[in-house]
Amino acid sequence: MKDSHSHHLSVTGVSAAVLASLTWSMNFVAPLVIGEYSIFDLAACRFIISGLIGALILIANIKAWRHLTLNDWLVTAGLGFIGYVGYFIAVIIASKYAGPVVAPAFLGLVPIALAISGNVHGGISWRLLQVPFALAVLGLLLVNGQNIARFEGQSHTTLALGIGASLAAVALWTWFGLANQRALMKRPGMNAWVWTAMMMIGGSLQTLMFIPLGTAMDVFNAPMLGFGQSAISQLYLPAFVLAAVASIGGAWAWTIASQRLPMTLASQLLSMEMVFATCLGLLFYYRWPTAPEAIGITLIVVGVVKAIGAFHGSPGKTAMAH
């Protein structure tokens, strides 16, 4: 960010990144409330609803259509796949083969991978990032370590497939974070709502293309369970909440953060997603955190605060503006 930017833009960027983390943490608990419906049922409904909401957003911002090019649509469609549909499919495969414990542990690496990638071509001194990174890694290990230690069951081949899918998900979202910011830098006047809507519409169309394949693979339970009254509370409502809050709200907040913060700082703030996900999981199961979980959460938060402090005190274009 340029030093000429006003201070409130930096505060807005930090707040937006934290808000995105909060909304995306819902992805980890959503599968707990869908009953007999599959995660694929939830994903299909979610992304289709996201596309419909995106279309409404574009209609509400119809004047912006004059400035959109074919390239804008192609870029956002690609980003919609990399960061949402493709990423979500990778997460589903990871959860299926590595289990619901190991997969989130690997996905916790996304903020670290994205922060390192975002700082490769210069920016803030690596020395200033050593402590925030170390705190984040240690915190993530403590939050997920007990679960990994208790993990049993899968064969080595199955586990390897799951871990491979987890790493693919990490790579996809790291790619998305960097590509999204580069695309926005080329479009400094882009409306965050319009950009979000375009990504969601692209992702929705890709989801519709996936449904025949998913049906052939028998991954959907909805045709058997029905689309009537029973689906309202266990499928439609969770899908709508995820679409409106996690997909649309999260993508909008992340677009704001990407426009106003260096990627290294924005991605460090993204580690709060695991904190929020852990807290939501604890609320769902009505239990207090264990000592390692509590210490891990604390370390992640301290790491985030340290990262903000490092950027706030760093001179140059990547520092937070005063």
Give per-residue pLDDT as tens, 184-211: 889 888 888 999 999 999 999 998 988 8
Is residue 320, in this structure, part of any structural domain at all?
no
Residues 239, 88 contacting (CB under 8 angstroms): no
Is residue 317, in this structure, part of any structural domain at all?
no
pLDDT at 9: 45
The reported pTM is 0.77
Is residue 5, in this structure, part of any structural domain at all?
no
Residues 48, 296 contacting (CB under 8 angstroms): no
pLDDT in tens, 154-182: 567 777 887 788 889 888 988 988 898 88
Is residue 321, in this structure, part of any structural domain at all?
no
pLDDT at 8: 42
Average pLDDT over residues 289-301: 83
pLDDT at 320: 38
Total domains in the chain come to 1
pLDDT at 48 over 90: yes
pLDDT at 4: 38
Of 151-160, 191-200, 260-269, 277-286, least confident by mean pLDDT is 151-160
User: pLDDT category, 103, cuts 50, 70, 90?
Assistant: low
Is residue 4, in this structure, part of any structural domain at all?
no
pLDDT at 122: 56
Percent of the chain whose predicted confidence (pLDDT) is above 90: 20
Is residue 46, in this structure, part of any structural domain at all?
yes
Average pLDDT over residues 18-25: 90
Is residue 3, in this structure, part of any structural domain at all?
no
Is residue 34, in this structure, part of any structural domain at all?
yes
pLDDT at 1: 41
pLDDT at 138: 83
Mean of the per-residue pLDDT values for the chain?
80
Average pLDDT over residues 126-146: 75
Pick 74 or 288 by higher pLDDT: 74
pLDDT at 286: 84
Cα 104 from Cα 143, distance rounded (Å): 10
Of 53-67, 125-139, 259-273, 278-292, least confident by mean pLDDT is 125-139
Q: What is the 3-state secondary structure (H, E, C) of the chain?
A: CCCCCCHHHHHHHHHHHHHHHHHHCHHHHHHHHCCCCCHHHHHHHHHHHHHHHHHHHHHHCHHHHHHCCHHHHHHHHHHHHHHHHHHHHHHHHHHHHHHHHHHHHHHCCHHHHHHHHHHCCCCCCHHHHHHHHHHHHHHHHHHHHHHHHHCCCCCHHHHHHHHHHHHHHHHHHHHHHHHHHHHHHCCCCCCHHHHHHHHHHHHHHHHHHHHHHHHHCCCCCHHHHCCCHHHHHHHHHHHHHHHHHHHHHHHHHHHHHHHHCCHHHHHHHHCHHHHHHHHHHHHHCCCCCCHHHHHHHHHHHHHHHHHHHHHHHCCCCCCCCC
User: pLDDT category, 79, cuts 50, 70, 90?
Assistant: very high
pLDDT at 271 over 70: yes
Domain ranges, residue 110: 11-148+155-312
**The two three-digit tokens of residue 21, written as one number:** 């983390």
pLDDT at 49 over 90: yes
pLDDT at 7: 39
136 Ramachandran zone, left/alpha/beta (phi>0; psi -120 to 50): alpha
pLDDT at 317: 40
pLDDT at 32 over 50: yes
pLDDT at 105: 65
